[in-house]
């Protein structure tokens, strides 16, 4: 009996099955089932968002990385925090809706705090105006975390702190992406945020939809929270 090696076809079937789930609690159940295979599968997917986001944060962050407090939202198995640790960050808290994912992230030893939270249904269980960096990679897309969640991310970020977000830019997600950008633009217009960097990337991850080929595009957004805020 040989070990079964997962293939890209296996990954496609897993991801496409997620689209059959109708609500947030269904999505959490999907991630609970996927947790053990997640890291192997995203490697096969050539999923570049964690690397692109952490490179962006490390390049633009002003301050002492070793003492900076990082909130990793939708932390999954800990891929983003692991890459940030490689960049010199050390103080991590994480939030995720999947208990199976949280179990794996606990096992990494990366996090000082980990909290369960159904993003978009429950308020973030974290103190306001606290984190030097808040980051959400992968969860901001149609059918997952609503655009309005950005307000909660803003609340958790300390004045002068950084917010990093990613989303896909394939046709199925373009309306969501436009809504996200409108909200970020409005928050800049209200002087609550300032744009640091927006990076559009063509080769984001391998396409899984039948009507797509090659790689789909995506985007990384990095903003800074205004020093004078009224979040508290």
CATH number of 122's domain? 3.40.50.150
1 within domain boundaries: no
Number of domains in the chain: 1
What integer pLDDT is reported at residue 64 of this predicted model?
97
pLDDT at 152 over 60: yes
230 within domain boundaries: no
Q: Which carries the bigger pLDDT value, residue 47 or residue 9?
A: 47
Closest among 60, 56, 197 to 137, alpha carbons compared? 56
Q: Band of the pLDDT at 201, cuts 50, 70, 90? A: very high
Q: Band of the pLDDT at 22, cuts 50, 70, 90? A: low
232 within domain boundaries: no
What integer pLDDT is reported at residue 232 of this predicted model?
44
The range of the structural domain enclosing residue 37 comes to: 8-225
pLDDT at 110 over 60: yes
Helices (H), the chain: 8-18, 24-34, 38-44, 49-60, 79-86, 99-108, 150-156, 174-189
Q: Which carries the bigger pLDDT value, residue 14 or residue 157?
A: 157
**pTM score, whole prediction:** 0.93
């Amino acid at each position: 009996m040989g070990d079964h090696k997962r293939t890209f076809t296996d990954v496609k079937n897993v991801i496409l099955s997620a689209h059959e789930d109708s609500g947030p609690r269904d999505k959490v159940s999907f991630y609970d089932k996927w947790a053990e295979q997640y890291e192997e599968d995203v490697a096969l997917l050539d999923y570049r968002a964690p690397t692109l986001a952490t490179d962006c944060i490390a390049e633009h962050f002003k301050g002492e990385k070793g003492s900076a407090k990082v909130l990793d939202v939708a932390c999954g198995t800990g891929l983003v925090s692991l890459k940030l640790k490689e960049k010199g960050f050390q103080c991590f808290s994480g939030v995720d809706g999947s208990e199976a994912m949280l179990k794996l992230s606990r096992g990494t030893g990366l996090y000082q705090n980990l909290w369960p939270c159904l993003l978009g249904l429950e308020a973030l269980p974290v103190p306001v105006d606290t984190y030097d960096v808040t980051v959400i990679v992968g969860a901001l897309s149609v059918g997952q975390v609503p655009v309005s969640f950005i307000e909660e991310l803003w609340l958790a970020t300390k004045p002068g702190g950084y917010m990093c977000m990613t989303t896909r830019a394939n046709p199925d997600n373009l309306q969501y992406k436009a809504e996200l950008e409108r909200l970020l633009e409005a928050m800049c217009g209200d002087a609550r945020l300032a744009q640091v960097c927006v990076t559009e990337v063509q080769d984001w991850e391998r396409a899984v939809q039948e009507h797509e080929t090659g790689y789909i595009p995506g985007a990384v957004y990095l903003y800074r929270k205004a020093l004078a805020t009224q979040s508290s």
